[in-house]
Amino acid sequence: MQVQLANDAEFSYRIERSARRRTVSIQIDAGEVVVRAPKTADALWINGWVQSKAAWIYPRLRRQQADLERYKINPASGQILLFGESFQIEHSLARRSPEELLDRQNRLVYLSGRESFADSNRLEQRLKRLLHQAAKPILEQRTLELAGATGLHPREVFVRSYKRKWGQCSSLRDVSLNWRILHLPVALQDYVIVHELCHLEQMNHSGAFWQLVERHCPAHKQLREQLKQYGACLAW
């Protein structure tokens, strides 16, 4: 559905209904406005309610869309965002270990083979596999370092592929991290890891949880806001 603003700007939104929901809420996710509403809520009433919130929604939506464009991952360009910086993608026939695939000093990513950058689908899939492989020793080692610093020790650390989250902590005390964390600046990488480690003690997002996060990461509020800018890094 569309909302027309007084200045001729407009935005669309999607309604998600649930029989269990009793209230209406708005979420702006990946450049899309999602309205969550009870199953019986009247569509015209929802439209009027969204219209009343338009002045709050629109600038946040535009800011998020700008961030999505700014941090969009486009391997066909020959460059990719890693550790918050632009790395050059280099084709190479030399065999390298996972640790050698990323040259952080010279900001290079080594991709085996000679595929053209024009073959975007194949390039993207190979690059994803490479980064997943390269992320494993980097993120596992950093998690162990932060576990030692915080005293929060997971049973095991996994590096996985997620499209909607940076990581998770299971009831078995396993921490799983998204390989896409490599796209983030180091300070944000550490925040994500500390966040998941804190779930080892508090499996929720209660006040006690955030107090624990603040103890180990005093700048967590600012970092959490910065992390929202990198949604595009989850989308590819």
Mean pLDDT of the chain: 89
118, pLDDT greater than 80: no
What is the dihedral angle through the alpha carbons of 214, 186, 169, 150, rounded to the nearest 10 degrees? -50
**Binning pLDDT at 50, 70 and 90, where does residue 114 land?**
low
Residues of the chain with pLDDT > 70: what percent? 93
Q: How open is the CA angle 74-87-195, to the nearest 5 degrees?
A: 85
Q: Are 113 and 125 in contact (CB under 8 A)?
A: no
**CA–CA separation, 194 and 146 (whole Å):** 7
Q: Does domain 75-235 have CATH number 3.30.2010.10?
A: yes
- pLDDT for residue 72: 82
137, pLDDT greater than 90: yes
175-219 tens-digit pLDDT: 999 999 999 999 999 999 999 999 999 999 999 999 999 999 999
Residues of the chain with pLDDT > 90: what percent? 62
Question: 174 or 124: whose pLDDT is higher?
Answer: 174
**Tokens, residue 27:** 């979420």
Give 32's strand partners. 29
Map out the domains of the chain as residue ranges: 2-70, 75-235
Which residue type, as a one-letter code, is found at position 175? V
- pLDDT for residue 94: 79
The arithmetic mean of pLDDT across residues 214-231, rounded, is 94
112, pLDDT greater than 80: no
156-170 tens-digit pLDDT: 999 999 988 999 999
Question: 236 or 2: whose pLDDT is higher?
Answer: 236
The contacts found for 121-127 with CB under 8 angstroms, 24 or more apart, are 123/75, 123/76, 124/75, 124/236, 127/75, 127/80, 127/89
